[in-house]
Amino acid sequence: MGSAGPVTIFVDETTRVVYQGLTGSQGRFYGLRNRAYGTLVVAGTNPKKAGSDVEGVPVYATVGEAVAATGATASCIFVPAPAVMAAVLEAAEGGVELVVVITEGVPTHDQALLRSRLARHFPEVRLLGPNCPGVISPGRCNIGITAGEIAMGGGPVGIVSRSGTLTYQALHELTRAGIGQTTCVGIGGDPVPGTTFVDCLAAFEADPDTTAVLLIGEIGGSAEEEAAEFVADGMTTPVVAYVAGQTAPPGRRMGHAGAIVSGNRGTAQAKIGALKQAGVAVGGNPSEAAALVASLVAGR
């Protein structure tokens, strides 16, 4: 994938990925697609198919065996929802630093328990997801289901989003405008994500190559308000935002398990207000948000 370039967050061209679920149809499709992009997909796991391979990618019984044999540093999980908790804990115990869970439908109780167990026993392990598109550092590493063709490297914009589809639109809009991205992180829209807006904003703030951030939120929960507090508390990298679900009726879940408005809590209007008060420029739609980022980058 070439020589090392600018700093990225979470992944780069040295990241070595094991796919838990590589022998399944979705794991195989995206694992091989990520490998074709240039990602170092070094192993898969399946205790029933250990010793086999998927188009040259060796399959091991456990993540620990894969790490020992290949030096894998990250895991991407494509297993059914009931098996996700065990898979994440296996990955953490196996020695990887990053676990990306693509699977949707993971029970909220499992999500909360996982985040608690990782914080207590494996604080060095970052969990991304569940129910997320993954993370891409354009031209260097792509873990998950994002189409690498719509991304463009070279910076200077970092993207963090709760919505998979809007992540893709943001990438496409910026690429079409000729604006490269440092890293794009889909944190997922479930109620208890392993990695939050604040985690990503802090990482982008520490990245000297990210000079602007596009944050894509949606109704439900308080993640956007927490992001606004972080920005207001002294983040120096400028942030542009878009909040989806502005016409969603109270009590109706929109798309994601975490996207539900309860009374006056979690509304798009409340989130937009908090972000604007923190000095964040907020677009009325994804295209407008991308245009705001373009203007911001052009003016720096």
Handedness of CA 45, 47, 50, 52 (dihedral sign): negative
- 3-class SS at 163? coil
The residue to which tokens 């354009």 are assigned: 138
Using the 3D structure, point to which of 64, 93, 128 is the last residue of a domain: 128
CA proximity to 18, closest of 1, 40, 33: 40
Residue 188 belongs to a domain = yes
* Residue 163 sits in the same domain as residue 265: yes
Q: Is residue 6 situated within a structural domain?
A: no
Tokens 């290949």, located at residue? 70
Domain annotation covers residue 5: no
**Both 32 and 89 in a single domain?**
yes
What CATH number did the domain enclosing 56 receive? 3.40.50.720
Q: Which residue has the higher pLDDT, 101 or 253?
A: 101
Which range of residues forms the domain containing residue 198? 147-298
The token pair that represents 63 in the structure block: 């993540």
Co-location of 119 and 236 in the same domain: no
32 with 173, same domain: the answer is no
The span from the CA of 51 to the CA of 21, in Å, is: 15
Residues annotated as part of the active site:
256
Q: Is residue 293 part of a domain?
A: yes
133 occurs within a structural domain = no
What's the mean per-residue pLDDT of the chain? 91
Co-location of 36 and 116 in the same domain: yes
Count of domains for the chain: 2
What confidence tens digit (pLDDT) does each residue in 26-78 have? 999 999 999 999 999 999 999 999 999 999 999 999 999 999 999 999 999 99
Sheet of 126-128, strands arranged across: 53-54, 57-60, 40-45, 16-20, 74-77, 98-101, 126-128
Least confidently predicted of 81-95, 109-123, 156-170: 156-170
Q: Is residue 8 part of a domain?
A: no
* 124 and 155 in a common domain: no
Q: How far is CA 121 from CA 42, 74, 112, 113, 125, in A?
A: 26, 17, 14, 12, 9
Here the CATH number for the domain that contains residue 208 is: 3.40.50.261
Residues 44 and 170 in one domain: no
- pTM reported for the whole predicted model: 0.92
Indicate whether 136 belongs to any domain: no
Band of pLDDT at residue 160, cut at 50, 70 and 90: very high
Radius of gyration of the chain (CA): 19
